[in-house]
Structure 1
Amino acid sequence: MLAQTTMTSKGQTTIPKEIRDRLGLQPQDKLNFSLLSDGTVIMRAKKGSIKSVYGMLHQADRLVISIEEMQRP
């Protein structure tokens, strides 16, 4: 796939929608850029870490139980 974009005077650019969709990119996603010796730029969507989902399922009124308690019949 080939896509073209224009860089603004502030160094900003928009990733074309087709590429955003194919990579599953969302606002606030992090992107890593690598510059190869021949001038090729590789852009990769940074994979989320467990830290990025920490607390996502937290419910203040939910009872905290151990794994052993969960495994009891």
Structure 2
Amino acid sequence: MASATITSKGQVTIPVDVRDHLGLATGDRIEFVLNEETGRYEVVPATRSVTALKGIIRKPAKPVTIEEMNAAIAEQGGSAR
């Protein structure tokens, strides 16, 4: 069984065999998911496909024109400065 030590900053180095098994690489994110049945946390890769994002934002009531998009971008860009 793989093990790791928590540093004083709360950081953990995930052992290479665990990273390989999960398909993790530098810069990848992970999630800690509580398994309600066992009461234990599971470490899972926090990767999602683009298709999983479908439907996360609802369609506007009316179509937005390119001119309206450009105006909104210009307005937001001007207020960010």
Q: TM tier, shorter chain?
A: 0.5 to 0.7
Q: Where is the helix percentage greater, Structure 1 or Structure 2?
A: 2
| Residue identity matched to 1:20 | R
With over 3 angstroms needed to count, the CA separation of the structure-2 counterparts of 1:6 and 1:39, relative to structure 1, is farther
Residue matched to 1:31: 30
Gaps of 5+ in 2: 51-81
Deviations 1:26-73 (A, max 9, x none): 1111101023466512110012332xxxxxxxxxxxxxxxxxxxxxxx
Gaps of 5+ in 1: 51-73
The alignment yields a C-alpha RMSD, in angstroms, of 2.1
Residue matched to 2:12: 13
Residue matched to 2:2: 3
| Residue identity matched to 2:20 | D
Ranges of 4+ aligned residues in structure 1 off by more than 4 Å? 36-39
